[in-house]
Structures are given as structure tokens and as C-alpha cells.
Amino acid sequence: MTTLYNPLINGFHPDPSVVRVGEEWFLATSTFEYLSGIPIHRSRDFENWELIGHVATRPGQLAVEDVPTAGGAWAPTIRHRDGVFHLVITDAMGRGMLHFTATDAAGPWSDGDLVRALDGSASVNGIDPDLAWGADGTAYITYSGLILEGENLGQHLGIQQVRVDLDEHRALEEPRSLWSGTGGQFPEAPHLYEVDGRWYLMIAEGGTERGHGISIARGDSPEGPFETAPQNPLVSARSTIRPIQNTGHGDLVVGPDGDWLCVLLGVRPRSMTRAFSALGRETFVTPVRWEANGWPAIDPVLLNPRPGTRVDIDFSAVRELDGEWIAVRTTPASVADLSSRADAIVLHGTGRTLDDPRPVFLGRRQEHLTNAVTIGIDVAAGVGGLAVRYDERFHVEVEAGDGVITARAVIADLVQEWTVPLTADVLELHIDSRPPAPSGGFPRTSDVFHLAASVAGERIELAEVDGRFLSSETTESFTGRVIGAYALRGDIAVTSWTAEGDDE
């Protein structure tokens, strides 16, 4: 019997899509402005998942260099046909709607072809594309008609569909409107499935916040017309006390026991009113049952976290970056210098702070609600530190160099700093995310950041910062917390990395 862990994939992994190939499952998620882009996780039992690669590993595959915050890689769909993996996605405010292919899901993937509109002048204008094939081999891209460019920017046309030529990467018709849900806002994340000779169109609606949910319709053709399921929404946590909220944006697949499953996004909010989701949108899973009337029923998403984890990296022994490292609007390889020192990763500061859209920053996702990260750092030749980043307007950090250790909180236009003298060039920097201390009432935040440094073995507590300020509800970010080292100016050397956490 398969144990369904929830989260299925911890930390910032939104908009999941999954495909089964033989006895393996492959799962893709969104990355927005981060690279490497679009991680691919593989499982052979649906319990243990391994990051095997990324779709976008080279400059030019995604045009994220200059996308605004919240732009970039939105909502992939991964499918497999005739020995080839296909992935369609919108590079929002970047290249547009793209189609990638690979014979191995671990990569390398193609450079990505623009899916052009019928007249060939520009990309099909929409988001969250799905790819499906009819019985006669006709390829369909079904998508959410949110317009991201031009004079109609922001207009939403509902769920739309085009037949496409995947060799020429061009729509074969003008977009057609399909079933767009039950009236909830932002109908999106469409997926088409043929089950027992009938076609099911599953979408998300209600917005990706607390009203999020999944609805479904069915018809005799991938083009419709579609009839609405009587029990919509199939799943939603709205107006419930469930610990996992915002459940929606799902994809269906047959699991290892022959039972159907739905992978979907959700958040784990905390505080008195469960108002703040520290880690952003994560990937979850829940069982699906097919009723006698031919409609699917999706179970509520139940919390079942994995045991805690610890990651120790000694850069004198590990001379290559693993796939968990990501960078902002550039590749990790362009940020991390692995050759200047045999015992460290060196980051070369350019004067850009974390307020800049392209900081010199190398990070990993925060995976646990209770979490502690420590880096060893040498700042003899520069200034830099350890930071938790949501985006350029929301971050906290511990910075060292030029004779000073500074703890800093940047919350939109509000900045607060705490400083102490620096008496050594080699030290450790710490950022811990801990539950709020008991105060005799209900906690009113998600967690508390503890910012500290250790010099010559002595830990110096610098500041405590309310974690609600780096939550998806406060930042209104589509991403999540990413913790990493950064360089401000000169050269800083990161000699070690330790991350430890759990979800108790």
C-alpha cells in the first residue's frame, strides 16, 4: 500500500504536473524568475521522489533575465508520447508559450519552440497550457486565456483551445472557448483526459488563494461540448479548518496501486487565523475515486509530513553544485565560482544588493516550517552574507565584512538593521526559522527568524524578525522562501552549508 506523504514535494514547488511512463512517475513544477528552471522529479513508488534534472538549464531557453517579479516559468504540463517527453509552459512576460521535448526526462531538453498563433506573428496568448492528443493523433493545446501583453493586458477570456501542429509549432485555428468552470474567478490550469471513451476537462478556479479549487466537466470529444459535474468543486479547502489551504491546480494520474491520484498545489498557513504561509505553494497529493455515474471524486488533502532532514555540504569535498541550487534570473553556474578556491564556492560581488532584480545570490528552497541554516564564510576580500529571499522587496539577511556584522530586514519600503563589530574574517552566519514563543494566547505569526553569527565558536544573537513578513500572503509572491549566500562587493568564499529542519 502506497503511503501518500503531504507535502509530496516540500517547499516552493507550485503548479505540479505529473505523467506516468511504465512504472515511473515524472513531476514538473513552476520556477518563475529562478534558474535552473522547471525541476523534474522522478519516483518509482510515489513515496520517494528524486530531483533528476531541469528543463531550462541553458541561457535562452527561458527569457527570464529581465522579466518582472512573478514573471517567468508559469505552470508546466508534462506528457509522454511515442518515446518522447513533451512539456508545454508559458514563459510569462518572457518568450511566451513554449514547447520543450526530451527523450530522457532528466535532460537535456530542447531549446523550446514558441507555439505561435494561426497567423504566425506571435505566441498563442495565454497561460497554463495543457497538451493532449485525440484518437486520430490531433494535438490540442488547451489553456487559460489570460492576456499578458498588448492593449488588452490583464483581460481574461476563460478556458480556450487550439489544434496545433507540433512540428511547425503553430496553431491550426483561431482559439475556441471551452467550458470555463462554475463561475469562480480566474479559470486556469486546464487538463484534458480521455477515460473510458469520454473526455474530461479539469480546471482550477476561484483564484490561487483561499478560494482555490478544482472543478471538472466531460464530453464526447476533446473539443467539447462539456457538461458540468454536479458535485463541483471536486476539491477545495475554502471555509474549512484543514491545515492545507489553497488546494487546487491539479493533475490526474494512475498511481502504483492502480488507483487514481491527484497532485495539486497547496499551502500550510500558520498563526491565530492561519493567515501566513511561510513556504509558499507546495506540491501535495490526494486519492481520486471514480463514482458509478462516471464522475471522479477527489478526497480532501490530508497533512502527512515526512521526517525532518539535514543537508551538510563541505565544499572542499563537493566540487560541483547539485540540482537544488538556484539563482535569480541567471544560472547557478554563472554565479558560483568553483575554481578560485579548492575549499569553497566563491561569489564575486558587483555592488548589487538583494534589492536588485539580479543579485549575486545562490540559494536553495526552504523545505521545512521549522528550519535552521548555517554557512561558513570568509569575508577577508569582500562583503556578503546569508539571506532568506522572497523577492527583491522582501528579504532578511545576516551580512559580514568591512569590520561589521549586520542583520537586516527589508519589508517592502521598511528597512531595519542591527550591527555589531566584526572581529574576524572567517565566521559562521545563521538564520533559523522557529515557532513563535508561547505567550499565553494564540500565535499571531507563522514563525520567527533568529538572525545570528558565530565568531571563534561564540554565537552572537543579532535580531529576531517576525516571519509573517516573508509569507506568500504578505509578499503576494508566486514563489516561496529561498535561502542562500550572496555577495555585495568584492569576493566572499562560502566554505560550508548546513540546513536542518522538520515540520512538527
Q: Is-contact 371 499, C-beta < 8 A?
A: yes
CATH number of 309-502: 2.60.120.200
Rounded distance between C-alpha atoms, residue 175 and residue 462, angstroms: 57
Q: What is the pLDDT of residue 500?
A: 98
CB contact at 8 A, 487 and 412 = no
Share of the chain above pLDDT 90, in %: 94
Query: CATH says 26-231 is which class?
Result: mainly beta
Each residue's pLDDT tens digit, 455-503: 999 999 999 999 999 999 999 999 999 999 999 999 999 999 999 999 9
Percentage of the residues of the chain whose pLDDT score is greater than 70: 100
Distance CA 170, CA 151 (A): 23
Lowest mean pLDDT, pick from 43-52, 142-151, 154-163, 452-461: 142-151
Please determine, for residue 439, whether its predicted confidence score (pLDDT) is greater than 80. Answer: no
Active-site hit among 15, 91, 391, 392: 15
What's the rounded mean pLDDT across residues 80-104?
97
Does the predicted model carry a pTM greater than 0.85? Answer: yes
What is the tens place of the pLDDT at every residue in 184-198? 999 999 999 999 999
The ranges assigned to domains in the chain are 26-231, 309-502
**Contact between residue 383 and residue 359 where contact means Cβ atoms under 8 Å apart:** no
Q: Is 188 a catalytic residue?
A: yes
- Would you say residue 80 has pLDDT above 80? yes
The confidence score (pLDDT) of residue 504 equals 78
Segment 440-446 mean pLDDT: 86
Q: Give the confidence band of 318 by pLDDT, cuts at 50, 70, 90.
A: confident
Confidence of residue 149 (pLDDT cuts 50, 70, 90): confident
State residue 306's pLDDT score: 96
Q: Are 267 and 281 in contact (CB under 8 A)?
A: yes
Whether 437 has a pLDDT exceeding 90, the answer reads no
Q: Are strands 156-165 and 17-21 parallel, antiparallel or unpaired?
A: unpaired
Q: Which residues of 193-208 are buried (b: 16+ CB within 10 A; e: fewer)?
A: beeeeebbbbbbbbeb
DSSP string spanning 213-247? EEEEEEESSTT---EEPTT--SEE-TTS--SSEEE
Residues with Cβ within 8 Å of residue 308, at least 6 apart in sequence? 368, 500, 501, 502, 503, 504
Confidence band of 438 (pLDDT split at 50, 70, 90): confident
Query: Cis bond leading into 225, ω under 30°?
Result: yes
Q: Is residue 300 within 8 Å of residue 286, measured between CB atoms?
A: yes
Q: Is the pLDDT of residue 317 over 90?
A: no
423 burial level (CB within 10 Å; 0-12, 13-18, 19+):
exposed
pLDDT above 80: residue 256 = yes
| Active-site annotation holder among 128, 130, 188, 392 | 188
Average pLDDT value for residue range 288-311: 96
pLDDT at 395 over 80: yes
Q: Please report which confidence band the pLDDT of residue 154 belongs to, taking 50, 70 and 90 as the band edges.
A: confident
Q: How far apart are the first and last CA of the chain?
A: 25
Distances from the Cα of 374 to the Cα of 212, 371, 450, 482, 496, angstroms:
36, 10, 12, 14, 8
pLDDT band at 445; cut points 50, 70, 90: very high
Nearest to 150 by CA among 129, 177, 121: 121
All three cell numbers of 180, joined, read 470555463
Average pLDDT over residues 280-286: 98
pLDDT mean over 322-328: 98
- The pLDDT tens digits for 64-76 are 999 999 999 999 9
Residues 107-118 have a mean pLDDT of 97
Are 88 and 98 within 8 A, CB to CB? yes
Known catalytic membership, residue 461: no
Q: How confident is the model at residue 151 (pLDDT cuts 50, 70, 90)?
A: confident
pLDDT at residue 1 in the model: 82
